[in-house]
Amino acid sequence: MTQEKKHTTGMPDVQSSADSRQIAINKVGIKSIRHPIVVADKAVGVQHTIANFNMYVGLPHNFKGTHMSRFVDILNTQSREISVENFPVMLQEMVQRLEAKTGHIEMSFPYFINKAAPVSGVESLMDYDVTLIGDIDGDDIRVALKVVVPVTSLCPCSKEISERGAHNQRSHVTVTVTSKDYIWIEEVVALIEKEASCEVYGLLKRPDEKYVTERAYDNPKFVEDMVRDVAARLNADKRLEAYCVESENFESIHNHSAYAMIEWTRPA
Ligand SMILES: Nc1nc2c(ncn2[C@@H]2O[C@H](COP(=O)(O)OP(=O)(O)OP(=O)(O)O)[C@@H](O)[C@H]2O)c(=O)[nH]1
């Protein structure tokens, strides 16, 4: 007897009953459930963190409801860790357990990278928001990696027209990639940070602060420059099947953001 059946034998199963409305549901399941996960860490082997999961399946028109408890059960399966490597297996397990054809999982987690300050070399952790987005439709499985990288951007126009200074701000550069091969989170972060006016750090001493201020001033970027320069680097990566690069600059001279986005898919 399966785990799900042994506690419920003899009880009415409303969700399995028929529905006559002739309307299929694209996504049904659970949203915002937290669970510990393990992520491969390029520097130290593994990193333990906590992910927020959204897990959905498609529901055919003739069923009243899905089986919500089974999604949680998949997270609690003891026979394997929840990891980036096991993510496709989770997608397969989910559609199998839910008797569905299509499924979608989003696994969002903070990921920490130890960075050295640019002059003093003092080390500190920086946190990055990472999401794995998986879709399964029959035998077709697609997994995208999304990384949000906070950086500094400095406005080229402001630098040109002002007698002193230039407005600069923190920006979020978000890259979402699908790839034939494994892509390290660290690779995506490094690629983006190289193209920013300057990268940001958890801990900076005064010599570092002077360096990042001057580095940003010497390296001004519009939001358009940011997404184009990151896209040019992504274009050179032959492993990629598709990408989306976005930049949101939280403008320090406005109460709104500047935003740009480039999407690319490898031609068939
Ligand atoms: N389908 C559905 N279930 C819900 C919803 N809200 C809460 N639930 C609960 O999800 C729980 C049942 O999950 P199931 O997986 O169907 O439970 P079960 O029938 O005991 O388990 P199985 O034998 O695996 O089907 C019940 O407590 C439901 O009331 C909802 O909006 N839709």
Chain segment 108-127, per-residue pLDDT in tens: 999 999 999 999 999 999 99
How close is the Cα of 95 to the center of ligand 1, in Å?
16
Mean pLDDT of the chain, nearest integer = 94
Q: Which amino acid type is present at position 181? A: D
In tens, the pLDDT along 78-89 reads 676 788 888 999
| 56 Cβ contact partners less than 8 Å away, ≥ 6 residues apart | 27, 28, 29, 30, 103, 104, 105
pLDDT for 260: 98
How close is the Cα of 106 to the center of ligand 1, in Å?
21
ipTM of the complex: 0.90
How close is the Cα of 69 to the center of ligand 1, in Å?
6
pLDDT for 1: 45
How close is the Cα of 89 to the center of ligand 1, in Å?
23
The answer on pLDDT for 28 being more than 80 is yes
At residue 216, φ and ψ (nearest 5 deg) are -65, -40
Task: Answer yes or no: is the C-beta of 118 below 6 A from any ligand 1 atom.
Answer: no
pLDDT range class, residue 163, cuts 50, 70, 90: very high
Q: Give the closest residue (by CA) to ligand 1 atom 15.
A: 67
Task: Answer yes or no: is the C-beta of 235 below 6 A from any ligand 1 atom.
Answer: no
| 104 Cβ contact partners less than 8 Å away, ≥ 6 residues apart | 27, 54, 55, 56, 57, 133, 134, 135, 136
Instruction: Specify whether the CB–CB gap between 29 and 68 falls below 8 A.
Output: yes
Q: Which CATH superfamily is domain 21-265 in?
A: Urate Oxidase; (3.10.270.10)
Task: Answer yes or no: is the C-beta of 123 below 6 A from any ligand 1 atom.
Answer: no
Task: Answer yes or no: is the C-beta of 68 below 6 A from any ligand 1 atom.
Answer: yes
Average pLDDT over residues 143-162: 98
Among 67, 76, 77, the mutation site with the greatest number of ligand 1 atoms within 8 A of its Cβ is 67
Instruction: Specify whether the CB–CB gap between 198 and 215 falls below 8 A.
Output: yes
pLDDT for 4: 47
Residue 207 half-sphere exposure, CB side, CA atoms within 13 Å? 6
Extract the tokens encoding 8: 């419920």
DSSP at 161: H
Task: Answer yes or no: is the C-beta of 13 below 6 A from any ligand 1 atom.
Answer: yes
How close is the Cα of 43 to the center of ligand 1, in Å?
42
The answer on pLDDT for 207 being more than 50 is yes
Task: Answer yes or no: is the C-beta of 67 below 6 A from any ligand 1 atom.
Answer: yes
Residue of 70, 114, 110 lying closest to 90 (CA atoms): 70
